[in-house]
Amino acid sequence: MLNNFYAKFYVTNNLKFKDNQLVLINLPLAIFPVGLFKEIALSEDDEMHRKIYEYMKNSCKDFAGKFKKEHGFNDKQIRNFLMDLFTNSGFGKIELVRQDDEKQLYEISVQNNPFAEQVRFKSKKPVDHIMRGILAGVISVYTERDIDCVETNCVGVNKNYCTFIAKKRKDFDFKTAMVTDQLGTWRINNRFFSNYISKKMGEFVDYFYGITAWKRQRFWT
């Protein structure tokens, strides 16, 4: 067995390989060479990196939220489970080194990060956009708030391990290049807010045409 984390699921028959799929409880998993992502890490396309980050964050929020609800996890349990899952699946040793729930400020370290190790000291900027997205998604589900994540130290640049800061978007300093490179310009980053605005606009249109129809009816009668 790979490690103790997977062993406990194996002995309880919750880790299976069936129909060519590896499934933990009811969560499909995949094993792949890290080298597949090397060119993404070395790319200098900040816009592409931001899109990858957003896709990973939203995907993580989606599946983690459903998994949390389906299995009745509380906020802390889902956070710890996911960090253990990614740590024991070869993403490196993920540790929450600072936690301030009141300020919603979190610092995470990742040692032996394979995504960064493959480009050690070869990049001018932090490279772990997939990991940033995962951590932002995990912390967002834990806090039940929209959280963003910036990598502050990276093995790909000049450090021996990677560190990340996760907090609300408005709390980042968008005057620094590190933040704007990874998050873009300051903006409300919440699809639920966009959906809310769309809904209200729809209600306004319905109301407007409803009043118009009522006036027409009054005029002709």
| Residue 168 region by backbone torsions, left for phi larger than 0, else alpha for psi between -120 and 50, else beta | beta
Q: Which CATH architecture has domain 37-185?
A: 2-Layer Sandwich (3.30)
Q: How far apart are CA 14 and CA 87, in angstroms?
A: 18
- 73 touches 66 (CB < 8 A): no
HSE on the CB side for 19, CA within 13 Å? Answer: 2
Provide the residue-wise pLDDT of the chain in tens; the chain has 221 residues: 579 999 999 889 999 998 999 999 989 999 989 999 999 999 999 999 999 999 999 999 999 999 999 999 999 999 999 999 999 999 999 999 999 999 999 999 999 999 999 999 999 999 999 999 999 999 999 999 999 999 999 999 999 999 999 999 999 999 999 999 999 987 654 454 455 455 555 565 555 555 555 444 554 55
Q: Where in the chain is the domain with CATH 3.30.1380?
A: 37-185
